[in-house]
Amino acid sequence: MRHDHLISAKQLSRDDIEAVLDRAATIADDPPDHGDAILALLFFEPSTRTKMSFDAAMKRLGGTTVDMGPVETSSVKKGETLADTVRVVEGYADAIVLRHPSEGAAKMASEFVDVPLINAGDGAGQHPSQTLLDLYTIRENAGLDDLTIGIMGDLKYGRTVHSLASALTNFDARQHFVSPESLRLPRSVRYDLHEAGAQVREHTDLEEVLSELDVLYVTRIQRERFPDENEYRAVAGQYRIDEGTLAAAREDLVVMHPLPRVDEISADVDDTTRAKYFEQAHNGVPVRMALLDAMIGGEDR
Amino acid sequence: MSDDTLRVSKIRDGTVIDHVPGGQALKVLAILGIDGSAGETVSVGMNVPSDKLGRKDIVKVEGRELSQAEVDVISLIAPAASINIVRDYEVVEKNRVVRPDRVEGVLACPNPNCITTGDEPVASAFEVLDAGVRCAYCDTIIRRDIADHI
Ligand SMILES: [Zn+2]
């Protein structure tokens, strides 16, 4: 990694990705000491897990974290711009992790600071550190070469999907996107996949492709995306998986989900060897340790 | 018919934008923020026969020279346009537009959730693609009707 900021998975080359994943595999056993490092956690929308995962990663490296507390009690509530907030906070910390509800927030914020900034989700945009832990999990369970992956659910607003899809263009991956027509991939993501020469197909029905998949990456279809509750119900049911649905899948299918899930993966899948979503969540800590190590004082900097 | 027939609106000082694709003149005016309310003298020739384009539009704006940012955006809807600067009835400069790699501060991002549409101290920026433009912040792509986003 030689980036000052991690804004989008599009920045990541295959070498960057492999360097972080390789380091993640060993870093927990012998963590480097970043005892004087402070990481600022700026979460303008709630995300307990991503925030805790970065917090845990920094602490495992011996460093500490500071955060701004809930948005309701911070100066943001008083109308301070994001540009001002990050310019203040860069004076407190060696790096900033930013979660913000607007697309492009991390990119803009990075233009105002000199400390490394990591995008931990900008609206429906990108979530590249999630992608690194997703790739780590895929590599451990299915390998990243000659991969057939199905990505299903809300592909339009799903930032984890957008980041994952672009990162996978670095590998020999066939990507199958499964969603309702109204939630298919945004034009900008399809454009990038096309430009990268990725092998991509879009489906509305999981059955069309399920039996070919090495990995099925499920995301949540959010109720609030639908104007009408009945419409939501009609759609959501088709993208819910259980053991019965997976009968047609390969025995070694890997089922992933960025969590939290609501009911898109039935609990009866949890006990099968296919379920990797909790492992995937746990991988967040070592992967983020490796990422922080590279960005705030690794050998490359 | 030639440009000479448009002599009726010959301007003293200002800009003549020539070789605009037929029917696009009003979009050029939109890019320039001209709607007549400020009392500018503007003449527009629409669907004038042209050897090069078949039919072309011509826009003449009295008393104003265009900024590079405006020229850049015009290039997106009128890639063959020429920009003629007129001073004292003479064309003193004649330039073909060049499609830029990036346009800043002129187009507004159509994504209402884009960080550039809020109160942040940041100008909009768009990368120019082969067909369309793309927000440098949120990645939203605008393919046609670029002038609607000014
Ligand atoms: Zn935008």
- 3-class DSSP assignment, residue B71: helix
**Interatomic CA distance for residues A119 and A98, integer angstroms:** 5
Could you report the predicted ipTM of this complex, rounded to two decimals? 0.92
In this predicted structure, what is the pLDDT of residue B30?
Answer: 87
**DSSP characters for A255-300?**
EE--S--SSSB-GGGTTSTTB-HHHHHHTHHHHHHHHHHHHSS-TT
Digits of tens for pLDDT over chain A (301 positions)? Answer: 557 999 999 999 999 999 999 999 999 999 999 999 999 999 999 888 999 999 999 999 999 999 987 777 666 667 899 999 999 999 999 999 999 999 999 999 999 999 999 999 999 999 999 999 999 999 999 999 999 999 999 999 999 999 999 999 999 999 999 999 999 999 999 999 999 999 999 999 999 999 999 999 999 998 887 888 888 888 888 899 999 999 999 999 999 999 999 999 999 999 999 999 999 999 999 999 999 999 997 544 4
* pTM for the model: 0.90
In this predicted structure, what is the pLDDT of residue B1?
Answer: 45
Active site residue A49: yes
**Interatomic CA distance for residues A200 and A149, integer angstroms:** 10
Q: Do A124 and B113 touch (CB under 8 A)?
A: yes
Find the farthest-apart pair of alpha carbons in chain B and give their distance in angstroms, rounded.
51
**Interatomic CA distance for residues A179 and B46, integer angstroms:** 46
The reply to whether A102 touches chain B by the CB within 8 Å rule is: yes
Burial B2-11 (b: 16+ CB within 10 A, else e): eeeebeeeeb
**Interatomic CA distance for residues A132 and A287, integer angstroms:** 7
Which residue is listed with tokens 């914020």? A109
**Interatomic CA distance for residues A182 and A41, integer angstroms:** 34
Residue A64's CB: how many other CB atoms inside 10 A? 15
In the set A5, A50, A85, A139, the catalytic residue is A50
> Residues of chain B whose pLDDT is less than 50?
1, 5, 7-8
**Judged by CB atoms within 8 Å, which residues 98-117 of B form the interface with A?**
111, 113-116
**Interatomic CA distance for residues A298 and A31, integer angstroms:** 12
Query: Considering CB atoms only, which of A83, A125, A187 is closest to B120?
Result: A83
In degrees and rounded to multiples of 5, residue A215 shows phi and psi of: -135, 135
**Interatomic CA distance for residues A216 and A254, integer angstroms:** 6
Is the sign of the CA dihedral A160, A166, A170, A175 positive or negative? Answer: positive
Q: Which one, of A199, A216, A212, lies nearest residue A265 by Cα?
A: A216
Which amino acid does the sequence have at B13? D
Q: For chain A, how many helices (H) and strands (E)?
A: 10, 9
In the set A14, A49, A282, A301, the catalytic residue is A49
Contacts of A62 (CB under 8 A, 6+ apart): A31, A33, A34, A35, A37
Residue A156's CB: how many other CB atoms inside 10 A? 18
Contact A221, A231 (CB under 8 A): no
Is the sign of the CA dihedral B130, B135, B139, B141 positive or negative? Answer: negative
Which residue is listed with tokens 């917090």? A55
In this predicted structure, what is the pLDDT of residue B40?
Answer: 84
Q: Are strands B14-21 and B54-62 parallel, antiparallel or unpaired?
A: antiparallel
**Judged by CB atoms within 8 Å, which residues 62-81 of A form the interface with B?**
79, 81
Kindly report the nearest CA distance between residue A88 and chain B, in angstroms.
15
pLDDT tens per residue, range A15-55:
999 999 999 999 999 999 999 999 999 999 988 899 999 99
